[in-house]
Amino acid sequence: MYDLVQVLKNVQHLYENTGQLRILTDFERVFDRLDIYLYENWKKGELVEGPIVERHRVKCAFMYRQNEMPNPQGGTRLTENGCKVTFKKDTLLEPRKIESYADYRPGTKKPHFDPTPVWIVEVCMPKPVLKSYGQEDKEDINEDYSFLDDSIQAGDLREYVKPMFGVDRYKSKMGEDKDVIVLDFDTKYNDVAKDLENFIEKGYNEVLDADSVDSTNKRGDYKVFAEFPRTRKSVKEVDKLISELKILTEQNNWQFKFYKDSKRYDYQLNTLEQVMAVSPLQYTNEVV
C-alpha cells in the first residue's frame, strides 16, 4: 500500500539528489529507445518508488490508475531485453475531498485518506542495459568497475549467474591438467563476470587463478574460470565457494558437469568427490 505523501516525498528526494535524477533519466531513456511508450498507457505511469540502485541492477516502481493498466506487451519488450517486470494490484491512500466535517480526521483539520485501487509495475533493469541504452551517446560509454572495490552482499549476483558449473571441461593455464582443477561458470553480463572473477581471486587461499572472458560464447554468456591445485584441500575450498555462491545468487540448487560427460549432477560435496579426480594420480589413471 502506498500513500500520496510517500509518493511526493520520493519525488522531492529525487530533485534534491542529482545522481538519482540522472539515473532515472537514463532509466526512462531506455523506455524511449525500446519504444515502450508506443504501448498503451505506459506514458501515464507515476514514479512511486526508486530508483533503487543495487550492485548490478536498478529498480523503479510506477503507479497506474485501475482503468489505465499499461499494455503487457511493453513489459514483454522489456523482458526480452533483460529486465524483470512485475505487474501487481495495490492501493493508493489519497486525501478525501472535504465536503463536510465528517471528511476530517477526528481532532484535526486534515482529511481522511481513502484507498484507491491502482496498478503497480515494478521494473528491475540490469545496469549493462541501463548503460547501453540509457546513455545519451553510446560512444561515451566506458567500462566502470569501481564497484569491485565495495564489499559484495548476499543476493548481488542473483539471476545473473547460472547455478551450474563445469569441472575440468577446459584446459588449465596454470599447469598440467592432472595437477589443476579447472572450474567454469556462466554469467549473463560482463560486469557480473568481472565481479565473480574478483570475488574468487580475492576470497580463496587455494585459488591459483581466476579469469573472465570479455566476449560472449555461442549461448550469449560470459565465462568465468577458476583454477585450484588438484588436492582434497582444494575440493573443500571449492565446496566453500559453491556455498557462498548460493548466498550471492539466492539459488540453493546447484548442478555441475564433469569433463566430457554431458550428465548434470546435483551438487553435493560427496558427489563431487566421487565424480571428479581429487589427485593427480587419480586424474591420470581414471580420467585421461
pLDDT in tens, 235-277: 999 999 999 999 999 999 999 999 998 899 999 999 999 999 9
Residue 115 CB contacts under 8 Å (≥ 6 apart), including other chains: 1, 91, 92, 93
Distance CA 283, CA 231 (A): 11
What pLDDT, on the 0 to 100 scale, is given for residue 139?
A: 47
**pTM (predicted TM-score):** 0.85
Looking at residue 154, what is its pLDDT? 96
In this prediction, the residues of the chain whose per-residue pLDDT falls under 70 are 2-5, 15, 134-145
CA 87 to chain centre: 19
Helices within the chain (DSSP H only): 4-16, 18-33, 72-80, 127-134, 190-203, 232-249, 269-275, 280-282
Q: Please name which of 125, 94, 124 lies closest in space to residue 110, comparing C-alpha atoms.
A: 94
Q: In what order do the strands lie in the sheet with 46-53?
A: 2-3, 84-95, 113-126, 57-65, 46-53
Please report the pLDDT score of residue 134 as a whole number.
62
Distance CA 94, CA 133 (A): 35
166: left (phi over 0), alpha (psi -120 to 50) or beta: beta
Instruction: Compute, in degrees rounded to 10, the torsion defined by CA atoms 170, 176, 181, 185.
Output: -30
If we measure between CA atoms, which residue out of 88, 98, 116, 272 comes closest to residue 181?
272
Place of cell 584446459: 171
Give residue 101's pLDDT: 72
Q: Read off the pLDDT of residues 176-185 as tens digits, 9 standing for 90 and up.
A: 999 999 999 9
Residue closest to 87 by CA, chosen among 132, 41, 155, 128? 41
pLDDT, position 44: 95
Give the pLDDT confidence score for residue 245 in this predicted structure.
98
Give the pLDDT confidence score for residue 55 in this predicted structure: 94
pLDDT given at position 35 = 96
Helices (H), 57-122: 72-80
